[in-house]
Homo-oligomer: A and B are copies of this chain.
Amino acid sequence: MSNSGGYCCGCSSLCQLLFEYDTPRIVHIKSRKVGLINRLFQMGILAYVIGWVFVWKKGYQEFDTVISSVTTKVKGITVTNDSMGVRIWDVADYIIPPQEETSFFVMTNMIVTPDQEQGHCAEMPGPSTTCTSDKNCTKGLVNIKSNGVQTGRCVAFNGTLQTCEVLAWCPVENDQTLPKPALLKDAENFTVLVKNNIQYPRFNFTKRNILPHINSTYLQQCIFHRLTDPECPIFRLGDIVQEAGENFQDMAIEGGVMGIQIKWECDLDQLWSKCVPRYIFRRLDNKDPDNNVAPGYNFRFSKYYKSANGTESRTLIKAYGIRFDVMVFGKAGKFNIIPTMINIGSGLALFGVATVLCDIIVLYLLKKRFYYREKKYKYVEDYEFAEKFNAAPIVISIQCGLALFDL
């Protein structure tokens, strides 16, 4: 640049910089062997960049993850006929709590302990609660399985057995025997309508799982079926459990957790109508009895009553049932210049690999390697500098390190 020729536009060297162009000098080798190898490498890289990165993995897109809102509505009625008589169960009875955010719980089985009142009564029999005299009981004792706080007295549990007395909601719950089959076994036929609204905030894209081409008439009578009705957002509970490879009646006894997964995998460079939800059903809790504490799914809740004289009583219900978690996930991709350029840039850089590999072949493996080396390389030696260094390598490197500041 500095020793440029006499021609100039009469301007500064900055101006000259504009009119320069550097291009590498090339050895153009006509060799079938090396040429073919080179083209094969290049084809491989091109195929990877175009086929895999761009076409298959959509390397020209940027991605966003979904945010979503879910509402559910269960429908169904069933009758139970047990010791307490015939009883009808509707949505307000078996959905607890009545509304949740992205999940719903359907009670399928229960242990009801009616008319509990605060008081003193005999604890349920067990290794630490059976007693023969007051000495076996410790006042104030509570453990993880207690129904109440021990008073220190030993009282009759029934005709033959004595247990420690507890301060508790009396009578205490007996959850030893669970109804089999499940009380609300007909929950298998209940249906649930799942409404899901999703958004990809980065792309300002929103959609609902009730697709626009679906009309109200269809919605009023359809039931989701993988093959015949894959877009119907109304699911039969039994079908959900069955698709997950489980048995509803078994699951209904002890309860469990099911996942209704809605997958929104969208390519927003394509038509709006091609972005559709896919439903997947999975069991989320652990069936394996070996490492399963508190198997199934249950929780306790109570209904409180007050008698005319003001004493409070409650009906304790240990509710077993299936919790359905609606889990929405997915990502959407849309063309964006940044990932495109990153991938093109990296792809171009990979082409350098082809040259490096071919050079190794040409310069080290071929018979005519010395001939090619001569053509490719121009050897220049820095004698002046070489003479300055003759010590051991370790010294050299130190000196070199210092020399960096002393060019």
Chain A interface size, as a band, is: 35 or more
Asked if B15 and A30 sit within 8 Å, CB to CB, the answer is no
Residues of B within 8 A of A359 (CB): 23
Report the nearest B residue to A297, measured CB to CB.
Answer: B71
- Check if A271 is an interface residue, CB within 8 A of chain B: no
Report the nearest B residue to A102, measured CB to CB.
Answer: B101
Asked if A366 and B407 sit within 8 Å, CB to CB, the answer is yes
- Check if A167 is an interface residue, CB within 8 A of chain B: yes
- Check if A212 is an interface residue, CB within 8 A of chain B: yes
Asked if B382 and A32 sit within 8 Å, CB to CB, the answer is yes
**What 0/1 pattern do residues 279 to 296 of A give for CB contact below 8 A with B?**
000101110111111100
Asked if A48 and B380 sit within 8 Å, CB to CB, the answer is no
Asked if A35 and B19 sit within 8 Å, CB to CB, the answer is yes
Residues of B within 8 A of A78 (CB): 142
Known: A32-B396, A35-B18, A69-B284. A214 touches B389 (CB 8 A): no
- Check if A91 is an interface residue, CB within 8 A of chain B: yes
Asked if A34 and B21 sit within 8 Å, CB to CB, the answer is yes
Asked if A215 and B73 sit within 8 Å, CB to CB, the answer is no
Task: Give CA–CA (A49, B150) in the complex, Å.
Answer: 67
- Out of B34, B197, B365, name the residue touching A284 (CB < 8 Å): B197
Report the nearest B residue to A206, measured CB to CB.
Answer: B282
Asked if A69 and B381 sit within 8 Å, CB to CB, the answer is no
Known: A4-B30, A20-B35, A382-B32. A99 touches B99 (CB 8 A): no
Asked if B329 and A33 sit within 8 Å, CB to CB, the answer is no
- Out of B92, B93, B118, name the residue touching A88 (CB < 8 Å): B118
- Check if A137 is an interface residue, CB within 8 A of chain B: no
- Check if A227 is an interface residue, CB within 8 A of chain B: no
CB distance from A231 to the nearest CB of B (A): 11
Known: A32-B400, A88-B169, A327-B67. A26 touches B377 (CB 8 A): yes
- Out of B18, B38, B259, name the residue touching A36 (CB < 8 Å): B18
- Report the stretch among A175-183, A239-247, A298-306 that lies at the interface: A298-306
CB distance from A133 to the nearest CB of B (A): 24
Those 8 A-B pairs whose CB atoms lie nearest each other, nearest first: A345-B346, A31-B382, A98-B301, A19-B35, A219-B293, A345-B349, A349-B349, A36-B400
Given contacts A18-B39, A21-B37, A197-B257, list 12 more A-B pairs with CB under 8 A: A7-B383, A9-B396, A25-B25, A25-B375, A29-B381, A48-B341, A71-B285, A86-B167, A91-B299, A215-B290, A305-B306, A348-B350
